[in-house]
Chains A and B, each alone.
Chain A
Amino acid sequence: MITGFIALYIFMLAAFTGYEVISRVPVILHTPLMSGSNFVHGIVLVGTMVALGHAHGPLELAIGFVGVILAAGNAVGGYVVTERMLEMFKSSKGD
């Protein structure tokens, strides 16, 4: 388990990384940023899998099951639309 201040350090460093990685945002990048980051939080899938895996009783099972469906939708859908959009981006120098 990650506890107390270690957790806080991770949070702080990841927040700065997120902010710095995207320091300047030209308008052309709003699309990948929007839809790519939408895909990245699809990582919630691993959490829902663990939750479902440890669930007891019908209520927990049902919530966990729905959670995994939703998370898989987020991850897969986010990936597919991001890929499709970025595939179209090209420069006039042709690459």
Chain B
Amino acid sequence: MNPAIQACYFVAAVLFIVGLKSMSSPKTARKGVIWAGAGMLVATLATFFYGGMDHYILMIVAILIGGVGAWYSGRKVAMTDMPQMVALYNGMGGGAAACIAGVELFSGEVQAGSIGFLVLAVVGAFIGAVSFSGSLIAFAKLQGWMKKALRISGQHLINGGLLVIALVLGALIMALASLSWALIFAFFAFSLVLGVLVTMPIGGADMPVVISLYNAMTGLAVAFEGFAIGNPAMIIAGTLVGAAGSLLTSLMAKAMNRSLANVLFSGFGADEGAQSEGPQGEMKSMDPSDAGISMAYSSHVIIVPGYGMAVAQAQHKLWEFVQLLQKHDVDVKFAIHPVAGRMPGHMNVLLAEAGVPYDMIFDLEEVNDEFATADYSLVIGANDVVNPAARTNKSSPIYGMPILNVDKTQNALVIKRGRGTGFSGVENELFFAENTNMVFGDAKDVCAKMVAAIKDL
């Protein structure tokens, strides 16, 4: 590789690190992505001069197809649909890593080289292929193309079997170190099917963990393929993402108090063992305008948004309501649970879209002690993340998950469409508590009514 190209890759790697570092503060985050974008541009342009390459026209056509399509879809997508777009682009990255391995394996070049590179190419191909098909399934589920969490009986056995077959095929490719098309095809096919079957049974509320995991996996796949073809920019960028993504994944899993294996392999909500002792009593309901006026006359309100807010597109009305509260000198804060929504950071995006400044948004650790002193907490479309059973009921499937202490506020208000249970199928005793009032209705309508009520004061 010529030194000028090496230098460009080096600059790109530095820009990626600087960019990622800048992304760890909301003030500089936007600059960070521009730095990283510049790095990407430098590396891509340099690659055109790599030397010994053909098919430039095909290459440019492919870049245009992928780039223009993604540019267009990325510009057009609504903020509420961000999780599936992130899943889709991530899957494409995984697929691309698998394609590199495909070309290398079918050409027989890696087999001819040292065993180390062959192993990396095959492992990267496996991870990339699983991330590709898995992310596409996650996309389809989030997009609503696949409504049910499909569970086949003996799922674990089938998945385990597929995993073993894919690994054996991969090992055979390494051991034989020769070119067998059938073997390579079978290896890719089994890896792809495995990604599909692993992702199928995973429910919507686990999506933040899954998306984050596939992101980390794509990063690793890119790094491995970078080793296999000797490309330092790919090694460094891929490893960075692999590490950062793993950190984020473990954070997500911890926020649900479940291990990664549990998220991936348990049929969560499939076996309802602990339904015997549901909470007793009546839900009290409150009129939206009463709820709005009561909060306007209080001094401290904490708002807990969840996926229901995204579904109802209620963020704009909610922010309008919050601004009215602020005019009445109410101290308002937003409390966000790490796994609220369908991807890490889903709620931040929606609140930012509505115009909520990020210094009003707080972490679970930052804000949890404040619930005890707040006059009102307003839960909007969240359920399991505020269920006190996670603290008290050992038999509950969500037992041990850190929750927002809404039940400790003086008055809890819960906006909810109906009386049903949450994703986990667990009744929420918060809804039956003495100091809780339910405000039934579509989140957006309820917010509009609360706004109207305060304006009439």
A83 B67 Cβ-Cβ under 8 A: no
B16 A53 Cβ-Cβ under 8 A: no
A60 B241 Cβ-Cβ under 8 A: no
B243 A53 Cβ-Cβ under 8 A: no
B102 A18 Cβ-Cβ under 8 A: no
Q: Determine which of A16, A27, A95 lies in contact with B243 in the assembled complex, contact meaning CB atoms within 8 Å.
A: A16
A88 to B193, CA, bound (A): 38
Which of B284-292, B358-366, B430-438 lines the interface with chain A? B358-366
Q: Which residues in window 30-70 of A have CB below 8 A to B?
A: 30-56, 59-61, 63-70
A2 to B27, CA, bound (A): 37
A86 B29 Cβ-Cβ under 8 A: yes
- The winner among B55, B92, B344 for most chain A CB atoms within 10 A is B92
A49 B47 Cβ-Cβ under 8 A: yes
Annotate B102-113 by CB proximity to A: 1 below 8 A, 0 otherwise: 111011000000
Q: Which residues of A sit under 8 angstroms from B234, Cβ to Cβ?
A: 43-44, 46-47
B345 A30 Cβ-Cβ under 8 A: yes
B243 A44 Cβ-Cβ under 8 A: no
Least CB distance from A13 to B in Å reads 9
Q: Which residues of B sit under 8 angstroms from A55, Cβ to Cβ?
A: 54-55, 103, 107
- The winner among A4, A82, A95 for most chain B CB atoms within 10 A is A82
A38 B215 Cβ-Cβ under 8 A: yes
A20 to B232, CA, bound (A): 20
A51 B100 Cβ-Cβ under 8 A: yes
| Binding site secondary structure of chain B | helix
Q: Which residues of A sit under 8 angstroms from B67, Cβ to Cβ?
A: 72-73, 75-76
A81 to B67, CA, bound (A): 13
A72 to B236, CA, bound (A): 19
A71 B352 Cβ-Cβ under 8 A: no
A29 B26 Cβ-Cβ under 8 A: yes
A28 to B270, CA, bound (A): 32
| Cβ-closest chain A residue relative to B340 | A27
A81 B82 Cβ-Cβ under 8 A: yes
B12 A51 Cβ-Cβ under 8 A: no
Number of interface residues of B (CB under 8 A): 117
A93 to B100, CA, bound (A): 47
B338 A27 Cβ-Cβ under 8 A: yes
- The winner among B26, B36, B67, B89 for most chain A CB atoms within 10 A is B89
A46 B338 Cβ-Cβ under 8 A: no
Least CB distance from B399 to A in Å reads 23
Q: Which residues of A sit under 8 angstroms from B64, Cβ to Cβ?
A: 72
Q: Determine which of A14, A17, A33, A44 lies in contact with B96 in the assembled complex, contact meaning CB atoms within 8 Å.
A: A44
| Cβ-closest chain B residue relative to A88 | B352
Q: Which residues of A sit under 8 angstroms from B66, Cβ to Cβ?
A: 68-74, 76
Q: Which residues of A sit under 8 angstroms from B34, Cβ to Cβ?
A: 83
Least CB distance from B102 to A in Å reads 4
Least CB distance from A61 to B in Å reads 7
Least CB distance from A54 to B in Å reads 6
A25 B360 Cβ-Cβ under 8 A: no
Least CB distance from B439 to A in Å reads 25
Q: Which residues of A sit under 8 angstroms from B53, Cβ to Cβ?
A: 49-50, 52-54
A46 B344 Cβ-Cβ under 8 A: no
Q: Which residues of A sit under 8 angstroms from B29, Cβ to Cβ?
A: 29, 32, 36, 86, 89
Q: Which residues of B sit under 8 angstroms from A18, Cβ to Cβ?
A: 20, 239-244, 247
B349 A88 Cβ-Cβ under 8 A: yes
Q: Which residues of A sit under 8 angstroms from B79, Cβ to Cβ?
A: 85
A28 B239 Cβ-Cβ under 8 A: no
| Cβ-closest chain A residue relative to B211 | A34
Q: Which residues of B sit under 8 angstroms from A85, Cβ to Cβ?
A: 79, 82, 349, 352
| Cβ-closest chain B residue relative to A66 | B99
B231 A71 Cβ-Cβ under 8 A: no
| Cβ-closest chain B residue relative to A68 | B62
Asked whether any CB of chain A lies closer than 8 Å to the CB of B423, the reply is no
B33 A67 Cβ-Cβ under 8 A: no
Q: Which residues of A sit under 8 angstroms from B360, Cβ to Cβ?
A: 92
Q: Determine which of B85, B232, B233, B362 lies in contact with A81 in the assembled complex, contact meaning CB atoms within 8 Å.
A: B85
Q: Which residues of A sit under 8 angstroms from B75, Cβ to Cβ?
A: 80, 84
Q: Determine which of A44, A61, A84 lies in contact with B222 in the assembled complex, contact meaning CB atoms within 8 Å.
A: A44
Please give me the 6 A-B residue pairs with the lowest Cβ-Cβ distance, nearest first. A53-B53, A67-B99, A18-B243, A31-B345, A72-B66, A80-B74
With A14-B239, A28-B363, A79-B74 known, 6 other A-B pairs at CB within 8 A are A30-B344, A45-B40, A68-B66, A75-B44, A80-B70, A80-B75
Interface residues of B (CB under 8 A from A): 9, 12, 16-17, 19-21, 23-27, 29-30, 32-34, 36-37, 40, 43-44, 46-48, 50, 52-56, 58-59, 62-71, 73-75, 77, 79, 82, 85-86, 88-90, 92-93, 95-97, 99-100, 102-104, 106-107, 114, 116, 211-212, 215, 218-219, 222-223, 225-227, 229-245, 247-248, 251, 336, 338, 343-346, 348-349, 352-353, 357-364, 366
